[in-house]
Structure 1
């Protein structure tokens, strides 16, 4: 396939899907696994911090106690006990929920894809932060969605800009990651969340709130999701996942939403994948019931904070004078901006040759990409490797890269 067109002699496929093409980020993630490469590109949690022994026990005990059920087909909407557990988890976060309010998905990415199929359609407009999560754009684009950027500052979406964009574009949905956003690491404060909820409550538009990172917090108290506002109960879809707090290989995510839309999402999921793995759901549930999540997360948070501090403290040395970068209160990413005329895309090939890789920020923009931006992930690389990667970046911008 070249530029979305299949080679001659191959029967046709969906032209719109084929035209989406490949992902440059996927190629960078492939490069990041090269021998000797230090990766600041990956959005994966740290392998060495997984509770392998605990998860193994859960699988063994589930198979011993409920083997036939664990190996059998299950309901499309998910195991009722797991949905109830998630409901209690969300209620504690401020979104009152029961099992009936939730559908289990194979990771939150499947949830994004289902929402793209059910809520969106050809030409439907989605308002997003700018920059935003690329894989959400890919999922929504499969349904033919169009994207419009909302002005975003150091606190997330600007409420006045959101209101103006809704009036101007008549969107079907607003997509946001208000907590430790990917790619910027920005968290929307409580007062701003209330203002955004005020705007959304005034308009006939879906809120799609993506929340994979909120449990990876370092010092701040958790903020209630925007979707917790009772005025948005009938028009909000809230996505979560165990990928960042237990293990992404389990592929356990969820959508919380109104019953009418969950019914359609369930029917759509049934046609696409039938169900999420029964044994994975039951093992995740067993682990959750037999472990204190906060207790398990505390050492992970502490290690991630060490890695964040190592990266942020080193960036002033590594990046050109005049660069700016944040110190996120949680999540997985640092967002940096180089001074003009530096271009993170042009510098990347030099960085890769020097054995360090990051993601240029321009890949995440819906509109008006800024070439001097870059996303650096700190969670999947040890402190020692981060220090070495910082030295390699210093060499890139001090000696090797010519503007």
Structure 2
């Protein structure tokens, strides 16, 4: 049978995300590839206790169909989480989604027609790039530096692409670079977008995991006219397997979003929503997140120390203040796709930078994840990578 696929279906079945997860699942490979949280930090006992309570109190109810935008109690609790992030939101502004990845997909489906321009940081989150491409978007990348997206370059970009559908950005501990946008640039980005009449999609899955520097308000904090659509997730602060995230947006946007969400899956898993809601009632979330951030700070500092020790001296890397990623740049035009193949042969993995660029690919770049490996794995893995990079650079 010959299937007549839609234009949005990739012609190649090569899947960068699947390859990352496959490498991460191989027990023989030390994988710095996938952005996986540390499983030993998952609150298993607390989640089990919450699940038992939910079945005891709401057994039949949680197994029934539910409201499209989510369990009202959980949405109320999310408004409290948002207050802690310096964003005032009402329940009507909140939608619960099946991981923030679903929010990216639904927002893209709502906003993008084939040929529409979407402005992204360059480099940017590879799974968002894939989603935008699947709806036929023309991606326009804006360069970054250590302080995040260059807003002067953004100002020039929006002058050229006046009908861009939205600007997609990850201000906190960006994926893939680990960089954090400064407060001044956050204000400037919101100003530039407002003047251009272009919405912002702010993706903030990592913002709660800050272990250095000053806590900064999200772009949504500076939004006075509803132009920022804010996305976040429980995946990094609780557990990704639960597939639970949320979206915060203007009421008029949420009315349309509710229809799209209903068409996609009717509603996010009802049982999971009740369990997370009960967990938030029973457990000190800030204390739990502090445990995660302490562990990630240690692993990040260890990896950075070992990169400086084992990688060639002309190699540059980002210095994240939180999150899960370090961005590495090797001067001299090294092909990191080929380096990846060499490293896999030596049972160590990373993600080549080629997967993250909307525009021209910058050679010699790759992403490392430090959250999912223990100290010994980090030590051995970085040592293996340093040897492989030295061989490539010397050749």
Asked if Structure 1 and Structure 2 have the same fold, meaning a TM-score greater than 0.5 normalized by the shorter chain, the answer is yes
Q: Which residue of 2 aligns with 1:359?
A: 351
Q: Which residue of 2 aligns with 1:4?
A: none
Instruction: State the Cα deviation string for residues 256-293 of structure 1 (Å, max 9, x = none).
Output: 11111111111111111111011100000110111111
The answer on whether the counterparts of 2:119 and 2:142 sit within 8 Å (CA) in structure 1 is yes
Structure 2: gaps spanning 5 or more residues: none
Match of 2:93 among 94, 101, 107: 101
The Cα of 1:390 is off from its aligned counterpart by 1.3
Show structure 1 runs of 4+ deviating over 4 A: 399-402
Match of 1:302 among 272, 291, 294: 294
Give the TM-score, by structure 1 length: 0.94
Matched residue count? 394
Asked whether 1:112 is paired with 2:128, we answer no
Q: Which residue of 1 aligns with 2:222?
A: 229
User: Does the C-alpha gap of structure 1 residues 20 and 114 become closer, same or farther in structure 2, counting only changes over 3 Å?
Assistant: farther
The answer on whether the counterparts of 2:8 and 2:135 sit within 8 Å (CA) in structure 1 is no
Instruction: State the Cα deviation string for residues 331-386 of structure 1 (Å, max 9, x = none).
Output: 00001111214322221111111110001112101111112011000000001110
Distance 1:104 1:45 in 2: 21
Alignment of 1:81-92 (within 5 A): 81-92=73-84
Structure 1, 274-283 or 221-230: larger mean CA deviation = 221-230
The Cα of 1:35 is off from its aligned counterpart by 2.9
Instruction: State the Cα deviation string for residues 110-158 of structure 1 (Å, max 9, x = none).
Output: 0001001112221111111000001111222222211101121111111
Alignment of 1:203-222 (within 5 A): 203-222=196-215
The answer on whether the counterparts of 1:116 and 1:141 sit within 8 Å (CA) in structure 2 is no
Q: Which residue of 2 aligns with 1:50?
A: 42
Match of 2:25 among 33, 39, 51: 33
Distance 1:297 1:215 in 2: 7
Q: Which residue of 1 aligns with 2:192?
A: 199
Distance 1:323 1:400 in 2: 13
User: Does the C-alpha gap of structure 1 residues 142 and 341 become closer, same or farther in structure 2, counting only changes over 3 Å?
Assistant: closer
The answer on whether the counterparts of 2:72 and 2:91 sit within 8 Å (CA) in structure 1 is yes
Give the TM-score, by structure 2 length: 0.96
Distance 1:265 1:372 in 2: 40
Distance 2:380 2:3 in 1: 49
SS of 2:196's partner is: coil
User: Does the C-alpha gap of structure 1 residues 157 and 257 become closer, same or farther in structure 2, counting only changes over 3 Å?
Assistant: same
Match of 2:285 among 271, 279, 293: 293
Asked whether 1:330 is paired with 2:319, we answer no
Instruction: State the Cα deviation string for residues 301-352 of structure 1 (Å, max 9, x = none).
Output: 1111111011100012322231011220000000111121432222111111
Distance 1:385 1:160 in 2: 41
Match of 2:59 among 61, 64, 67: 67
The answer on whether the counterparts of 1:148 and 1:366 sit within 8 Å (CA) in structure 2 is yes
The Cα of 1:21 is off from its aligned counterpart by 4.2
SS of 2:200's partner is: strand
Distance 2:291 2:102 in 1: 29
